[in-house]
Amino acid sequence: MKMDGVLKLYFGESNLPTPDYIKRAASKAMEDGYTYYSENAGLPGLRQDLAAYYRRVHDVALDPQAEIVVTASGVQALNLGIRCLLNPGDEALVLTPVWPNGAAIIRMDNAIPVEVPLPLCGDRYAVDFDALRAALTPRTRLLLYTSPSNPLGWVASDAEQDGLLAFARRHDLWLVADEVYDRLYYAGPSLGTPAPSILRKATRRDALLVTQSFSKTFCMTGWRLGWLIARRDVAEKAAQLNEFVVSHATSFIQRAAQSALAHGEEELLRMLERLRDNRDFCLDALRRLPGVTVPAPDGAFYVFPRIDGLIDSFAFCWKLLHETKLGIAPGVAFGAGGEGSVRICYAAERAILEPAMERFARFLSTSWD
């Protein structure tokens, strides 16, 4: 953080600022008096708009009063939701490599995360259902997966979604789906089509909890706003529990988020075009390098190249940073299956990505190990 001249590709956010219309909506909301306490589950108007957004974007019908809880970020949605589901000593299956906060939250609840890696099968990561079955114990209560995935860019296929839902139903588990990157998806019939939500397959009576965020889709990382969707008994508990955590997300930010939902599609499309170009540029540059395997990510904004012979990704990234001033994230940070790879965030401008890929290639051509 303190070094000058570092090309920073270790962050999990776009370098685009929050669009002006959202900033203006927040100012107006403050002027309009959205500076008081509001409902624990979020402004009713925002929950209604979220339900309308799901109908429009995912073709899913939700009850805004009973099935949606607004939270102060995606990570708070995970925290609140998981806390409602686990007792101390319970076990939770977590598909890895993955952003580590889910497993950390499980530990904070005095429960035990059991990591089950997604193996790389050919040019695609895939769910290993045999490994999931083998990891079950009588204490297993929950299965957490992230699709689109940070750091893999993996998106659960139709068959994998069916399989995960059937597995959860058969073994009486809660299925927790982190879908914060659903709009950053490049494999749909057209850009802007979301990654299919598990909500399309599940019924509202299923033991399902989906966590979501305004951070990635609307470039609102610093605003701290998200939501969760859950079966109504758990949604009700989550809203009650929120009283003792943050009470509710900031009122004027919730109001600004209503504008994001109403007017965000054009900016989103522009960002997606840019991200897809960046992804293709990075894939092309990385695939030229000997000893590097990199599956094409279908979603999010990361590539996760695997490097032959890499056994200490932390040391690799440290040396890369100090010798070339390129900052990327070590794969080991993302749990089981992550060692041997590194994560590169490609949501930066080309003027950064181009020299970054050059530095990476040059470093790999030296005796880095």
Ligand X SMILES: Cc1ncc(COP(=O)(O)O)c(C=O)c1O
- Binding site residues, ligand X, CB under 6 A: 12, 73-75, 99, 146, 150, 178, 180, 213, 215, 221, 226
Minimum CB separation of residue 345 from ligand X in Å reads 10
Long-range contacts of 116-121 (CB under 8 A, 24+ apart): 116/336, 117/335, 117/336, 117/337, 118/149, 118/152, 118/154, 118/337, 119/337, 120/293, 120/295, 120/306
Hey, what are 260's tokens? 């994001």
Report which of 178, 194, 175 is spatially closest to residue 186, judged by C-alpha positions.
194
Q: Between the CA of residue 23 and those of 50, 202, 218, 223, 253, what are the distances in Å?
A: 19, 35, 11, 10, 9
| Nearer to ligand X among residue 127 and residue 180 (C-beta) | 180
Minimum CB separation of residue 222 from ligand X in Å reads 9
Give me the DSSP letters along 77-100: HHHHHHHHH--TT-EEEEEES--T
Q: Which residue is nearest to ligand X (CB)?
A: 74
| Nearer to ligand X among residue 79 and residue 324 (C-beta) | 79
Q: Is 122 buried (19+), middle (13-18) or exposed (0-12) by CB count in 10 A?
A: exposed
| Nearer to ligand X among residue 221 and residue 324 (C-beta) | 221
| Nearer to ligand X among residue 29 and residue 228 (C-beta) | 228
| Nearer to ligand X among residue 64 and residue 151 (C-beta) | 151
Minimum CB separation of residue 323 from ligand X in Å reads 27
Minimum CB separation of residue 17 from ligand X in Å reads 15
Minimum CB separation of residue 138 from ligand X in Å reads 29
| Nearer to ligand X among residue 136 and residue 336 (C-beta) | 336
Report DSSP state, residue 150.
T
- Backbone angles phi and psi of 112, in degrees to 5: -120, 115
Q: Between the CA of residue 94 and those of 125, 137, 201, 204, what are the distances in Å?
A: 15, 14, 20, 23
Minimum CB separation of residue 341 from ligand X in Å reads 16
Minimum CB separation of residue 74 from ligand X in Å reads 3
| Nearer to ligand X among residue 84 and residue 364 (C-beta) | 84
Q: How far apart are CA 272 and CA 183, in angstroms?
A: 9
Minimum CB separation of residue 217 from ligand X in Å reads 10
Element (H, E) at 69: strand 68-71
| Nearer to ligand X among residue 54 and residue 302 (C-beta) | 302
Q: How far apart are CA 110 and CA 90, in angstroms?
A: 8
